[in-house]
Homo-oligomer: A and B are copies of this chain.
Amino acid sequence: MRDVAVVGTGMTKFGELWGRTIKDIFVEAAHKAIEDAGVDHIDSLYVGCMSPGLFVGQEHLSAVVADYLGVTPVPATRVESACASGGAAFRQAFLEVASGASDIVLAGGVEKMTDGADVTDTLATAADQEYEVYQGITFPGLYAMIAKAHMHQYGTTREQLAAVAVKNHRNGAKNPNAQFRSEVTAEQVMASTMVADPLRLLDCSPVSDGAAAVIVTSLDVARKLKKSYAKVIASAQASDTIALHSRESLTTLNAVVHAAQKAYKMASLKPTDLNLIEVHDCFTIAEIVVSEDLGLFEKGKGGEAAAKGLTSLECGKTPINTSGGLKAKGHPVGATGVAQIIELYEQLTGRAGSRQVKNARRGMAQNMGGSGASCVIHILEGQ
Tell me, yes or no, whether A380 is within 8 Å of chain B by CB.
no
User: Which residues of the partner chain B approach A122 to less than 8 Å between Cβ atoms?
Assistant: 53
Tell me, yes or no, whether A75 is within 8 Å of chain B by CB.
yes
Interface centre among A62, A71, A238, A258 (most CB of B within 10 A): A62
Given that A57-B133, A92-B92, A246-B67 are known contacts, is A73 also in contact with B240, CB under 8 Å in the complex?
yes
Min CB–CB distance A131 → chain B (angstroms): 10
In the complex, the answer to whether A373 meets B246 with C-beta atoms within 8 Å is no
In the complex, the answer to whether A60 meets B242 with C-beta atoms within 8 Å is yes
Tell me, yes or no, whether A80 is within 8 Å of chain B by CB.
yes
The interface-forming segment of A97-105, A146-154, A199-207, A345-353 is A97-105
In the complex, the answer to whether A239 meets B50 with C-beta atoms within 8 Å is no
Given that A67-B373, A92-B92, A98-B101 are known contacts, is A62 also in contact with B78, CB under 8 Å in the complex?
no
What is the 8 Å Cβ interface bit string for chain A, positions 1-42, against chain B (1 contact, 0 not)?
100000000000000000001010000000000000000000
In the complex, the answer to whether B101 meets A1 with C-beta atoms within 8 Å is yes
Tell me, yes or no, whether A44 is within 8 Å of chain B by CB.
yes
Interface residues of A in 298-326 (CB under 8 A from B): none
What is the 8 Å Cβ interface bit string for chain A, positions 103-134, against chain B (1 contact, 0 not)?
00000000000000000001001111110010
In the complex, the answer to whether B73 meets A239 with C-beta atoms within 8 Å is yes
Bound Cα distance A374, B78 (Å): 11
Partner of A73, one of B76, B101, B254: B254
Partner of A62, one of B64, B80, B130: B80
Tell me, yes or no, whether A212 is within 8 Å of chain B by CB.
no
Interface residues of A in 50-92 (CB under 8 A from B): 50-51, 53-54, 56-64, 66-67, 71-82, 88, 91-92
Given that A125-B57, A258-B73 are known contacts, is A369 also in contact with B99, CB under 8 Å in the complex?
no
Partner of A238, one of B75, B92, B235: B75
A76, closest chain B residue (CB):
B239
In the complex, the answer to whether A63 meets B81 with C-beta atoms within 8 Å is yes
Tell me, yes or no, whether A255 is within 8 Å of chain B by CB.
yes
Tell me, yes or no, whether A95 is within 8 Å of chain B by CB.
yes
In the complex, the answer to whether A66 meets B369 with C-beta atoms within 8 Å is no
A62, closest chain B residue (CB):
B81
In the complex, the answer to whether B59 meets A82 with C-beta atoms within 8 Å is yes
Bound Cα distance A248, B100 (Å): 33
Min CB–CB distance A105 → chain B (angstroms): 11
User: Which residues of the partner chain B approach A1 to less than 8 Å between Cβ atoms?
Assistant: 99-101
Tell me, yes or no, whether A241 is within 8 Å of chain B by CB.
yes
Interface residues of A in 232-283 (CB under 8 A from B): 235-243, 246, 254-255, 258-259
Bound Cα distance A95, B80 (Å): 17
User: Which residues of the partner chain B approach A172 to less than 8 Å between Cβ atoms?
Assistant: none
User: Which residues of the partner chain B approach A239 to less than 8 Å between Cβ atoms?
Assistant: 62-63, 66-67, 71-76
Interface centre among A54, A75, A78, A259 (most CB of B within 10 A): A75
Interface residues of A (CB under 8 A from B): 1, 21, 23, 44, 50-51, 53-54, 56-64, 66-67, 71-82, 88, 91-92, 95-96, 98-101, 122, 125-130, 133, 235-243, 246, 254-255, 258-259, 369-370, 373-374
5 contacts between A and B (CB under 8 A): A44-B237, A72-B241, A77-B91, A78-B79, A79-B80
